[in-house]
Structure 1
Amino acid sequence: MPDQQGRRVPGLDRPLQPLTVGTSALGADPGDEALAEMMVSGRLRQLDTSNNYAGGRSETLIGAALKQAPDGVTVFSKADSDPGTGVFDGDRVMRSWEETTSRLGVETLPIYHLHDPMTITVSEAMARGGAVPALVALREQGLVGAIGIAVGGGTMVEDYIRTDAFDAVLTHNRYTLVDRRAEEILRLAAERDMTVFNAAPFGGGILGGSPRHATRYGYRRVSPEFAAHVERLRALCERWGITLAAAALHFSLAEPRVHSTVVGVTSAERLAQLESLADTVIPDGFWADLAALGSPPPSPID
């Protein structure tokens, strides 16, 4: 893993780590208690969760594991719309906050994101009584150290960044070996000195070696041109003696505008694999050869 000096985040008593374990799938299987315990006791003990992951079970399992965990575990979470009605106003943000902190067994969080506000407009989110003023109130009360925006699709992320209300941003499936659509997000965030999380560096699995996702990027089927570019990347990695997954992870880790890379983990095996990938040393010459391949074809997601 690159030897980077971690970014300081208000409300976090230790430097931000370059790798964050994503827990969106945690709680989907009955035996995930053991996986949660590994996540909080292992080497990579910086976790990203959300109010709606596995219907709240992700946070519940993390909270139970935290009771037995040593010091030094960091958890970030997100406010979500009402699962039944889709309402996402200020009252819902406060209820989401109460649900999250109750499940996790904590009183404060270092970063709390507004998550996928697809049921409201940016103007509605920013208005009096809206979701963003509620997040700001939580920050002003010291209940969160920083507030972030985490949303996929279109230009909504950029629109929220331009409000200047947020301290952090989480982008997903938009800055990888084969996709640079987050360039504008990274530019806007850097101008505002925001903390940046880059999630899904494997593009939903195609860059992580998953046979099940070999024909999809961001969960959508890829074009023949896109698939051919991935194969050229794979061949390049083989020539340098590294795996495509290692190159994909370190592409994000090496980007100075990205402060932490979020990788979803679904099993103990995947957690161990992530640690091994993080330790892989990428030869300097690889990046020059990568650039020589040219710009990747358009990805299948917006």
Structure 2
Amino acid sequence: MNAQPVETRELPRTSLKASPITLGTSYLGRGTVPGGPGEQAAVEFAEAMLSGPYALVDTSNEYAQGRSEAVLGIAASAGIGPGRAIVTKTDRDVATGVFDEDRVLWSFEESCTRLGVERIPLLHLHDPYSVSFEEATGPRGAVAGMLRLKDQGLVDAIGIAAGRVGLVAQYVGTGLFDALLTHNRYTIVDQSALPLIEEATSRGMAVFNAAPFGGNLLAKGAASGGSYNYTASPPALLEWVARAEDVAARHGVTLPAVALHYSLRSPMIHSTVVGVSKIERIAELERLRTTGIPDELWADLEALGPAPSPVTD
């Protein structure tokens, strides 16, 4: 167990401190059932996250159909390492798509029950795609639910967590949110979230950048044919990534290290969220984090020209 998380910094407008990396848990507990044979292994994995090198573990109401939060709750009941915390997200009703004030309040209650807590330090509004921005920000909308929880002192801070830059910009523009979590849109392949990150920074918000590997493409390399942003990578993108791998190799580092440090090096990003699916991945991430990247590499990478990103929103 690490006595304290590494390199913590204050998260603006929250009660939290974050390490450069936050662990994502969308895979945690997937396929397990309460008391089933896979649950204990998942709990042990969660315990490793909550006592490992990083300050924050990120989950969501709907991850693994609620099992991510449930497993984290079991692990946390035995104690969390000093300086660590769990942050989560509210989600739509997956059966109906309803995402209004009542659903936000119920999602919060579900999360608290699973996590075994009464309060949450940072709660994100997650992927509000099933409702329009006008519905979400109107009377009895999802945003009203988020503000109600904050006003009641049940959450310390609220965030907006989603991918679609244009939509997320509308939520950031309200000035109501304390944190931003963007994903797959600030990587060596796609920088479409940069104006959004700049806007959030100008408003003094905490900024999380998730999925620096774009899914698995930048973690596994071009030869893997890996996906980017949950979709198959087109041949032109695979060719560009192969050239980026060559740049990394010329400088004596790996593509995954370059991809991670692209996010870590930004002064506007407080923490980079990386999903992990096995315990060994935590140590691997720490090796990548502590890898030195030559300054000259970034100019050589830029010289490749823009990558043909498949992101279209």
Give the TM-score normalised by structure 1: 0.93
Q: Which residue of 2 aligns with 1:19?
A: 21
- Which of 125, 138, 152 is the aligned partner of 1:127? 138
**How far is the alpha carbon of 1:258 from its aligned partner?**
1.0
Percent of matched pairs sharing the same residue: 46
Q: Which residue of 1 aligns with 2:182?
A: 171
- Which of 126, 129, 144 is the aligned partner of 2:155? 144
RMSD: 1.9
- Which of 149, 169, 178 is the aligned partner of 1:158? 169
Distance 2:308 2:121 in 1: 37
Please list the CA deviations of residues 118-156 of structure 1 after superposition, one character each: whole Å capped at 9, or x if unmatched.
Answer: 111111111111110111111122221211111223621
1:63 paired to 2:73: yes
1:50 paired to 2:53: no
Secondary structure, counterpart of 1:208 in structure 2: helix
Secondary structure, counterpart of 1:176 in structure 2: coil
1:148-297 to structure 2, matched below 5 A, reads 148-153=159-164, 155-209=166-220, 214-297=225-308
1:34 paired to 2:20: no
Contact 1:9 / 1:146 at 8 angstroms: preserved in 2? no
Change (3 A) 1:182 1:266: same
Structure 2 unaligned blocks of 5 or more: 1-5, 32-37
Give the TM-score normalised by structure 2: 0.90
Distance 2:223 2:229 in 1: 13
**How far is the alpha carbon of 1:85 from its aligned partner?**
1.4
Q: Which residue of 2 aligns with 1:8?
A: 11
Distance 1:67 1:198 in 2: 29
Structure 1 unaligned blocks of 5 or more: none
Contact 2:221 / 2:241 at 8 angstroms: preserved in 1? no
Contact 1:9 / 1:110 at 8 angstroms: preserved in 2? no
Contact 1:225 / 1:297 at 8 angstroms: preserved in 2? yes
Which residue type is aligned with residue 243 of structure 2? Answer: R
Secondary structure, counterpart of 2:187 in structure 1: coil
**How far is the alpha carbon of 1:215 from its aligned partner?**
4.0
Secondary structure, counterpart of 1:170 in structure 2: strand
Contact 2:89 / 2:124 at 8 angstroms: preserved in 1? yes
Distance 1:5 1:25 in 2: 25
Distance 2:8 2:281 in 1: 26
